[in-house]
Amino acid sequence: MSNSAPFISAHGSGPDWQSVAQDCATQLKSAGPEHRLGFLYVTDHFSADLSDISNFFKDRIGVDHWVGTVGLGVCATSKEYFDEPAMVVMIIPAPDSAFRIFDNVSDSITAITDKHASWLSNILSPLTVVHGDPRNQNINDLIEKISSETEGFLVGGLTASQQNFFQLADDVSEGGLSGAMLALDEIPAQVGVTQGCSPIGSPHRITAADQNLLIELDGKPALEVFKEDVGEVLARDLQRAAGYIFVALPVSGSDTGDYLVRNLVGVDSETGVVAIGDHVTAGDQIMFCRRDHDSAITDMKRMLSDIKSRTEIGAIRGGLYFSCCARGPNQFGSDSEELKIISSELGDFPLVGFFANGEISNNRLYGYTGVLTVFL
C-alpha cells in the first residue's frame, strides 16, 4: 500500500441520516482515487437507512466498496455514540488488488474459497474484517471455517440491534457473515484483544456435563463449586449475579491465558446443575469470572502496551475497534472513557468501530471483550 495517502475518518450524530452523512462527507473531502475501501457503522436509529447511506457515500466521495454493520453504539477516535442516531466512517487507501469483498455467507464458505481461490493463493495471508448476524446458529462454525480455509486472521463483531440485523458488503444483507479480506502484505496490521471480566479462583476440570449443563466440576456438584467460588449470597440469587458473574472457558493452547466468556443461564438447587451459554464436554476446563471496572481498565492498558511494543512510534495509520455492547458507558463511564484510553496510550489516529453482540478475533467468537486492529 502506498504510504503517501492517509486513512481518513469521520463521525457525527443528528436526527436525520442525510444531514449527518453530509457532515461526514465534508470531513472526508480530501478523499482521492487511491481510497477504494470504506468502513461504515451506524447506530440502530439509522439501521433501516444503511443501504441509502452507503450509496450516498459511493456517489458523493467516489469510494466504491463499503463494509460495515449496525451497533447499539458506534465509536470513533476518543468518541462513543450510544442511544442516539449516529454514524462513523473511515476510508483507506488500498488498490483493488489488496482486498476482496464477500457477502452473506450463511451456511457454506465456498462462496469465499471458490470465488477468491486465485487471489488467496497469491497473497501472504488475509486479515478478514467480518460482521455477522447473531441469529445465525452456525456463526461459530463459519468463523472457524473461514479462518481455517483461508489461512487468515479474523477480526470483527456481530450486529447489535433492536430492529434490523443488517450487514454491509457493497450491498446490504442479513442472516450470515459479510466483510472484506485484506492482504496483509499490502495492508499490514496488528491486533489485540482485551477482556472485560476477570477470573474468580482457579480453573476447574469438568468431570460431568451434558451439552450446556455443568453437572460436576472436580468431581463435585457444579453448583457446590460455583458457591465456593462466588459466595453463597450470589449463588442463591442468579438474577443479582446476572450481568456480574460469568463463565470463562480457557482457550486451549493459548500462551497468554486467553479465555472465552459465556453467560450463566440458570442453576438447579435440587440437582446441583449449572446451565451456561455454550456447549462443553467432560475434560474441558472452566472458570467463573466477574465483570469488573478496574480490571477491565488494567487489561485494556495491557493490550495497548502490547500493541505499542509491536509498532514503531508514529506508525499507526488507522484502526478498527470492536467492543462488546456491555462495555463502553456500561463499564468504563459515560464520557467516552473506553475510547479515550486508546488515544491516551497510542495517540490519536483515524479509528472507527461499533459496540457488538459478540466480538471476533482470529477463529473465535468472544464476549465482553474489545478487539483492536491497527493498520501500519
215, 316 contact by CB (below 8 A)? no
Per-residue confidence (pLDDT) for residue 135, from 0 to 100: 96
Query: CB neighbours of 376 closer than 8 A, spacing ≥ 6?
Result: 188, 189, 190, 311, 315, 316, 317
Confidence of residue 30 (pLDDT cuts 50, 70, 90): very high
Per-residue confidence (pLDDT) for residue 255, from 0 to 100: 61
Q: For residue 99, give the nearest of 168, 159, 156, 169 by alpha carbon.
A: 169
Per-residue confidence (pLDDT) for residue 3, from 0 to 100: 54
Per-residue confidence (pLDDT) for residue 219, from 0 to 100: 96
Q: What is the pLDDT of residues 158-173, one digit of tens each?
A: 999 999 999 999 999 9
Percent of the chain exceeding pLDDT 70 equals 96
- The x, y and z cell numbers of residue 320, run together, are 478498527
17 pLDDT exceeds 50?
yes
232 pLDDT exceeds 90?
no
Q: Which DSSP helix (H) or strand (E) runs through 61?
A: helix 50-61
Query: CB neighbours of 131 closer than 8 A, spacing ≥ 6?
Result: 67, 68, 69, 156, 157, 158, 159, 167, 168, 169, 177, 178, 179
How large is the average pLDDT for residues 331-351? 96
Q: What is the pLDDT of residues 119-149, one digit of tens each?
A: 999 998 999 999 999 999 999 999 999 999 9
Which of 41-45, 284-288, 311-315, 349-353 comes out lowest in average pLDDT?
311-315
244 pLDDT exceeds 90?
no
Percent of the chain exceeding pLDDT 90 equals 81
Tell me, rounded to whole angstroms, the distance of Cα 322 from its chain centroid.
Answer: 4
Domain ranges of the chain: 8-194+297-375, 198-290
Structural Rg of the chain based on CA atoms = 21
Across the chain, mean pLDDT equals 93
Max CA pair span of the chain: 67
Per-residue confidence (pLDDT) for residue 4, from 0 to 100: 76
Give me the phi and psi of 278, to 5 degrees please: -165, 160
Confidence of residue 343 (pLDDT cuts 50, 70, 90): very high
Which of 93-107, 144-158, 226-240, 308-322 comes out lowest in average pLDDT?
226-240
Confidence of residue 2 (pLDDT cuts 50, 70, 90): very low
Q: Measure Cα distances from 30 to 91, 94, 314, 315, 362 in Å.
A: 11, 15, 21, 21, 33
Per-residue confidence (pLDDT) for residue 104, from 0 to 100: 93
1 pLDDT exceeds 60?
no
How large is the average pLDDT for residues 308-312? 92
Which of 43-57, 147-161, 282-296 comes out lowest in average pLDDT?
282-296
Q: What is the pLDDT of residues 66-78, one digit of tens each?
A: 999 999 999 999 9
240 pLDDT exceeds 80?
no
